[in-house]
Every structure is written in C-alpha cells, then in structure tokens.
Structure 1
Amino acid sequence: MSSKPTHRILQIEDRGEGKKAYWREVGVAFTNNDGSQNLVFSVIPMFGQHTVQLRKIEEKVEND
C-alpha cells in the first residue's frame, strides 16, 4: 500500500432541480501493489441515496 493517498473520495449531494450539487470530500484511497485500493472514510453518509466518486489526487503546481 502506498504511504500517501492516491485518490479522494467525494460524496455528491443532489440539491434538487436548478441547484448545483454539493461535493464533499469524505475520505481518501490508497492504491495497493496489486492495483486494488483501500478506501478510508472520515465520514459515512447515513440517510438517503448518495453518489460517491473516487477521483485521482493531482499534484498541485506552484506558480513561479
């Protein structure tokens, strides 16, 4: 397993017609040597239907 997370876990909350969805980071994922992933949640949605998305963490580039 990587010592640094490779992905963010995002919960996408639908706010209804005409309103922007709310994206909330709910954890991170670590990629194992065999390509599988361990998901580590800091919070877990409890009510309603939720979409969870795994997104690769992009390195931040600093401007000179």
Structure 2
Amino acid sequence: MKRNEKNQKPYSVMVVEGEGDKAFWTKIGAAWPHEDGKGFNIQLSCLPLNGRLVVREPKADAGAGR
C-alpha cells in the first residue's frame, strides 16, 4: 500500500563526520519517498560544509506514545 507524504514517517537525513566509533552524526532534515519508489523529497534545515549525507529509514517505534 502506498502512502502519501502526510501519512508517512519521514526518513532521517543525517550528516556524518568521521569514521567508525568516532563518527559524529547530526540530524539535519527529513526525506519522504516518492509514490513510485524512484526518488525522495528532501527537506534540510541546514547545509553541511563537510562530511557525508546519510538517509536512514524511520525507526519502527518512532513517535510511539504521542
């Protein structure tokens, strides 16, 4: 079943600086997959100057208890 952006939990957009156990992860936005599954709409609250962007699936328990 396809869900639209309003009903779907967003993916987290993170900037990661460093490697391995010393990596520092900062959430900088959210992403919603397109209905056809071939891309994302991404909303960022800031732009990183270095590091790499990582998009992670929402956690199954995210928003529980709200």
Structure 1 ranges of 4+ moved more than 3 A: none
Aligned to 1:28: 30
Contact in 2 for aligned 1:5/1:31 (Cα 8 Å): no
The count of aligned residue pairs is: 57
RMSD between superposed Cα atoms in Å: 2.3
1:38-49 matches, cutoff 5 A: 38-46=41-49, 49=50
Kindly indicate whether residue 15 of structure 2 is the aligned counterpart of residue 11 of structure 1.
yes
Q: Which structure has the greater CA radius of gyration?
A: 1
Given candidates 5, 9, 17, the residue that maps to 1:2 is 5
Identical pairs, percent = 21
- How far 1:6 sits from its partner (Å)? 2.8
Structure 2: stretches of 5+ with no match in the other structure:
none
User: Do 1:5 and 1:29's aligned partners in 2 also have CA atoms closer than 8 Å?
Assistant: no
- C-alpha distance in 1 between matches for 2:10 and 2:36: 14
